[in-house]
Amino acid sequence: MFQCLETLAPFIADVINQSLATGTVPDCYKHAIVKPMLKKPGLDENALKNFSPISNLKFWSKILEKLVLQQLLEHLNKSNLNEVFQSAYKAFHSTETALLKVTSDVLEFIDQKEICVMTLLDLFAAFDTIDRNILLTRLNQTFGLSGTVLQWFESYL
């Protein structure tokens, strides 16, 4: 495939541009190969609960996702809609930076001899259980996505 990339690139670009212009994601871009992956080494390989489904999208689907993510992040930055303490999907941010922020805040409370209460959530299968109508409403009302852009996200889901 990569040997033909120069030849295929204009066709892939056309499909991606058409997807963005019409607010629809082609069905073939939504197909993934799902493989079970053991959550941690050493777990019982005969117990299904010890596996997580890993979806591998085709490379052109990943290109489309990255382009949309880039445009979404630009919109959030221009509109000043970024969450200050959001660590995911931000350059130079990760779970480590989130942990550093929490640790710093806890230590600050300790230094000031104040009480610190934390609520920690583990959202099991969060993406699979989210109500898509609530998500689309939030994308519209909170982040200002509408029209073709919002249709694209609805089609993607």
- What is the per-residue pLDDT across 41-57, written as a single tens digit (0 to 9) for each? 999 999 998 998 888 88
pLDDT above 90 for 30: no
Report field, pTM of the whole predicted structure over 0.75: no
- What is the per-residue pLDDT across 53-87, written as a single tens digit (0 to 9) for each? 888 888 888 889 999 999 998 999 899 988 888 77
Q: Name the strand (E) or helix (H) holding 51.
A: strand 51-57
User: Among 5-14, 88-97, 127-136, where is mean pLDDT lowest?
Assistant: 88-97
Q: Which residue has the higher pLDDT, 3 or 11?
A: 11
pLDDT above 80 for 40: yes
Q: What is residue 136's predicted lDDT score, i.e. its pLDDT?
A: 96
Measured CA distances, 98 to 29, 114, 151 (Å): 32, 21, 32
